[in-house]
Chain A
Amino acid sequence: MKFSRKSLGIPYAVFLLLFVVGPLLVLFYYAFTNGEGHFTLRNLTDFFTDPNTLGTLFYSLLVAAVTTVFCLLLSYPTAYILATSKLKTKSVLIMLFVMPMWINFSLRITALKEILTLIEGNLAYYPFLNSVIGMTYDFLPFMILPIYNTIVRLDGSLIEAAKDLGANDTRAFLKVTLPLSVPGIVSGVSMVFLPAMTNYVVLDMLYNSTYIMGSLIGSYFSAYNWHGGSMIALILLALICIFTLITDSGSAEDSGVRGGALL
């Protein structure tokens, strides 16, 4: 047989079909069938008529939105100051902000939990605040890194040109730097918003009894309700698709951010 470089991709193609496409097809099947294997829309209508599940959807959108705003307010100045500083050590400094990504999240949240317990006494009193603090703490590097990468690559001569043309610092920032850093912001927002809707383990660890979308999957899983869980997963998948299309994110560079890759 003639050697073909194309055929090297076959194992991965099979792998993708089996373990990426396969699970999604099964998810579809389970979401639209009941225990006896008959087609049904019950799972879908149940979700949109039950005030509890609808409430969870809106609550998790709220948690995600507030977390994203928090992350953005903290990350943008950080990334901006680091990216525009003339320090030779700025690559070391940004490393300090990214390094927590490589420490297991469960250990970082444990540390945060101990501190919050010391400050608040009982964590159960402030479930919403704690969710936002926990998620912000967990996801902050994912917001800082893409914004930093965008600002650091900005053409400095554009800002000089703006100043030569009479803009003061504030105006140059608002008219040049900020609009040009939007791609980094969008990328950061997509790295934070979606996990903040689904990453329920952060809430669990902070003794939180409130539910976000991810927690619903967890509770259906514990109840062996595969059909209900599949519907939730499918709804989440739809939200993710919509969000990805709007922000046009999910590029190769974004994926590097997720792994904390400065390599």
Chain B
Amino acid sequence: MMKRTLKVGFIVLMLLLIYAPILILAFFSFTEATQIGQFRAFSMQNYVMLFTTEELRDMILGTLLLALGSSVLATILGTLGAIGSFYSRKQFSSMYSTINQIPVINADVVTGFSMCILLVVVLGISKDSFIPLIAGQTALSAPFVYLSVMPKLKQMDSSLYEAALDLGAKPGKALFGVVIPQIASGIVSGFMLAITLSLDDYFIATYTKPATFDTISTYVVNATKGSHTDIKTALWALSTVIFVIVVIIVVGMNLNARRHSDSRRERA
């Protein structure tokens, strides 16, 4: 009994440590306080500020568009790469996989810095063109798409593709009609991974982004160094909004997964 209490106590303590900062920040985001621990009147001004300040709105929208764009690119490239590699001879296939590991194990600082040197310093591509930024984030996340598609290809029933060809389907049609559906779950989770990587990226963005463009990460990092208190507290509101969105997505995913397993059980 004693042991059980200890265990529960430890888990609760850990959860408190992890969530206390986020929840305390959320509480003060609904007040006029400019510092944690100041008890002022409740107010929604931080949220009004967050959604009406053009600079903040552009920054959030820009981050989302960048994440979407680089993730779509990464998903297409990574999926095609995985399919190509899967059907290639062994030497080629292992070459793909080796090079694919580089951005995965490399430090983001190194990836971002080397990207900046090649594209901006050597090739002279302007950062304002967004090309270095998009290429950099795509290079970071495409390998993760490759890695999440590959196991699905290996599990796939390869005779179905042959069967489709035997039945007269053109290779392209067989690919889209037979192969892609079988690896779809890998493509989707690869895409989700790419989105999270892009949203959380700081280093690639800071080394390759146009000077006038900011992602949430670069904006928040610069804001913590500055002294604009109204912007600072508006970011508390942003933190709270993102927290709530993440909670909703996670709860939704859990309910969805449970419903799926329930219906599977009923069918069985």
> What is the predominant secondary structure among interface residues of chain A facing chain B?
helix
Contact with A along B65-97 (1 / 0, CB 8 A): 000000000000110110111011000100010
Q: How far in angstroms is the closest Cβ of chain A from B140?
A: 10
Pick 16 A–B contacts, CB within 8 A, sort by A: A12-B84, A12-B85, A15-B139, A23-B118, A78-B11, A97-B14, A100-B22, A103-B246, A108-B22, A198-B107, A198-B109, A201-B203, A217-B110, A229-B113, A233-B110, A259-B197
A74 at the interface (CB under 8 A from B): yes
- In addition to A15-B139, A106-B224, 6 A-B residue pairs with Cβ atoms within 8 Å of each other are A12-B142, A103-B239, A110-B236, A205-B224, A237-B106, A240-B106
- The closest CB in chain B to the CB of A244 belongs to B105
Which of A12, A20, A100, A198 is B78 in contact with, Cβ under 8 Å? A12
B250 within 8 A of A: yes
- Provide the residues of chain B in CB contact with A197, threshold 8 Å: 107
Residues of chain A within 8 A (CB-CB) of B80 are 8-9, 11-12
Interfacial residues, chain B to chain A (CB-CB below 8 A)? 7, 10-11, 14-15, 18-22, 24-25, 28, 35-37, 77-78, 80-81, 83-85, 87-88, 92, 96, 99-111, 113-118, 121-122, 135-136, 138-139, 142-144, 146-148, 150-151, 170-172, 175, 188-189, 192-193, 196-197, 199-200, 202-203, 206-207, 216-217, 220-221, 224-225, 235-236, 238-239, 242-243, 246-247, 249-250, 254
Q: Give min CB distance, A43 to chain B, whole Å.
A: 14
Knowing A106-B216, A140-B18, the reply to whether A250 touches B117 (Cβ < 8 A) is no
Q: How many chain A residues have a CB neighbour from B under 8 Å? A: 87
Q: Most chain-A Cβ atoms within 10 A of its Cβ — which of B15, B106, B235?
A: B106
Partner of A19 from the list B105, B135, B188, B238 (CB cut-off 8 Å) is: B135
A101 interface hit (Cβ, 8 Å) = yes
B236 to chain A: which residues have CB within 8 Å?
A: 110-111
B202 touches A106 (CB 8 A): yes
Which residues of chain A have a CB within 8 Å of any CB of chain B? 3-13, 15-17, 19-24, 26-27, 30, 74, 77-78, 81-82, 85, 91-93, 95-97, 99-108, 110-115, 117-118, 137, 140, 194-195, 197-201, 204-205, 214, 217-218, 221, 226, 229-230, 233, 236-237, 240, 244, 249-250, 252, 254-256, 258-261, 263
> Once A and B bind, how many residue pairs between them come within 8 Å at the CB atom?
260
Which residues from chain B contact A103 at a C-beta distance below 8 Å?
A: 22, 239, 242-243, 246
Please give me the residue from chain B that is nearest to A30 by CB atom.
Answer: B117
> Please, which residues of chain A bring their CB within 8 A of the CB of B239?
103-104, 107-108, 110-111
Q: Indicate which residue in B107, B113, B225 contacts A194 across the interface (CB closer than 8 Å).
A: B107
Bound together, the chains give a CA A252 to CA B171 distance in angstroms of 29
Using A26-B122, A30-B117 as known contacts, say yes or no to A106 and B217 having CB atoms under 8 A apart: yes
Give the residues in chain A near B217, CB-CB below 8 Å. 104-106
Q: Establish whether residues B221 and A201, one from each chain, have CB atoms under 8 Å apart when the complex forms.
A: yes
Question: Are B111 and A23 interface neighbours, CB within 8 A?
Answer: yes
Tell me the minimal C-beta distance from B161 to chain A in angstroms.
9
